[in-house]
Amino acid sequence: MSASVAQIGGGCADAPVLRERGQREVFCGLTGIIWLHRKIQDAFFLVVGSRTCAHLIQSAAGVMIFAEPRFATAIIDERDLAGLSDANDELDRVVAKLLARRPDIKLLFLVGSCPSEVIKLDLSRAAQRLSQVHMPQVRVLNYSGSGIETTFTQGEDACLAALVPIMPRSPAPAGKSLLVVGALAEVVEDQFSRLFAAMGIEDVAYMPPRKSVDLPAVGPGTRYLLAQPFLAETARALEARGAVRLPAPFPLGAEGTQAWLQAAAREWGIGKDRFDAAVAPARARAEGALGKFRNELGGKKIFFFPDSQLELPLARFVARELGMNVLEAGTPYLHRQHLAEELAWLPAGTRLSEGQDVERQLDRCRAEKPDLVVCGLGLANPLEAEGISTKWSIELLFTPIQGFNQAADLAELFARPLVRRMKLAV
């Protein structure tokens, strides 16, 4: 598979990007269920898939899967229309049984998988049909978590994008409201809410909400901040409803968090004094807590394999706030608009890559002997066996890492594998 260099438009804003389209080592979008099911507490994710899909979710998260693996497997075997109508009947039956047993469910996601996409089972039609049956108690939506040509964080993007059409319309003419988009730990949301309130921004909502019945309203008065860098579809859907994105880096590290908050402050016309009074103490604490990790990690070489789409903001954080030497920052997709501020902040000369040709990338990685590699689970074990310390990128999705109070926790995630290896070496 050939690699090519293309130009994108201080730091790495105009740096060349190595584009690779070869074999990839990534999880599928079903993985998002692991954090989303905790986040939206009255929602249920019903994977319509095979035994492989059920095993993936169960072994990764212990999530109960109510789709009968037999049902999905039978669909793959029987690609005829009769099989499809059976599949729909079976799905209706499983959903009815599930909802009768679980009156706490207010929102049901039918999550598509590779098998359901291969046989072209129309889950959006099924969701409409089932919504008609079960509304108003339960709304049924669908999205795809299939691993065909996707990466694992796209599951969250697809899920949130499916929610946008059912968000209430904000009354017009409306004042401005702030929407923070991307699943965050509740502790992080609470900290952000306190900071926004101290700055003077009171009308703040989060997407996804903790309860599906509390979906925030959206409209031309909505200004939104992305809390995660992998939400291209969701952003498109929000903008189609009139919302306007506030360009900002992502709230990782002290510097990233300050700039992210500043984007809202600018939009709301909040003066420097008020902003500093609200934010400076938390920022100073975060910077102080990062000092220890700068000593441990400064000058260490780090290599990011493309996996979570968090790679560029993370590379920016470790380079600028921890003094690490980023050998390569690989990302599955490079969304230039959403990442413009991150690119501008990356140290000039950082090698950027998009997509993957895993063998070539492994060759580059081995040749440069990084101190730490951030990668998916599939690559971590072989690299560890070769004596290279690794950090699983998926951990960065399960751990609260955004905001000032979490900056040191984020740094520690990078320090821990190195400390562990040093201890093993003693």
Q: Which residue has the tokens 């903790």?
A: 210
Q: Tell whether residue 282 is a contact of ligand SF4 (CB under 6 A).
A: no
Alpha carbons 387 and 192: distance in angstroms, whole number: 40
Instruction: Classify residue 80 by its DSSP letter.
Output: S
Pick 114 or 140: Cβ nearer ligand SF4: 114
Q: Tell whether residue 153 is a contact of ligand SF4 (CB under 6 A).
A: no
Residue partners of 315: CB distance under 8 A and separation at least 6: 302, 304, 326, 329, 346, 350
The distance of closest approach from Cβ of residue 185 to ligand SF4 in the complex, given in angstroms and rounded to an integer, is 25
Size of the site for ligand SF4 (CB under 6 A): 12
Q: Tell whether residue 124 is a contact of ligand SF4 (CB under 6 A).
A: no
Alpha carbons 156 and 123: distance in angstroms, whole number: 17
Q: Tell whether residue 154 is a contact of ligand SF4 (CB under 6 A).
A: no
Q: Which of 40, 46, 146, 321 binds ligand SF4 (CB under 6 A)?
A: 146
- Residues 126-145 contacting ligand SF4, CB under 6 A: 145
Q: Tell whether residue 114 is a contact of ligand SF4 (CB under 6 A).
A: yes
Give the pair of three-digit tokens for residue 389: 């310390």
Alpha carbons 75 and 86: distance in angstroms, whole number: 9
Parallel/antiparallel/unpaired status of strands 16-21 and 3-7: antiparallel
At 184, phi and psi to the nearest 5? Answer: -125, 155
Site string for ligand SF4, 15-54 (x = CB under 6 A): -------------x-x------------------xx-xx-
Pick 145 or 251: Cβ nearer ligand SF4: 145
Site string for ligand SF4, 72-111 (x = CB under 6 A): ----------------------------------------
Q: Tell whether residue 332 is a contact of ligand SF4 (CB under 6 A).
A: no
Beta strands in 37-138 (DSSP E): 43-48, 107-112
Pick 31 or 170: Cβ nearer ligand SF4: 31
The distance of closest approach from Cβ of residue 58 to ligand SF4 in the complex, given in angstroms and rounded to an integer, is 11
According to DSSP, the residues that pair with 301 across neighbouring strands are: 325
Name the residue among 146, 157, 124 with its Cα closest to residue 235.
157
Instruction: Classify residue 399 by its DSSP letter.
Output: S
Interacting residues with ligand SF4 (CB under 6 A)? 28, 30, 49-50, 52-53, 56, 113-114, 145-147
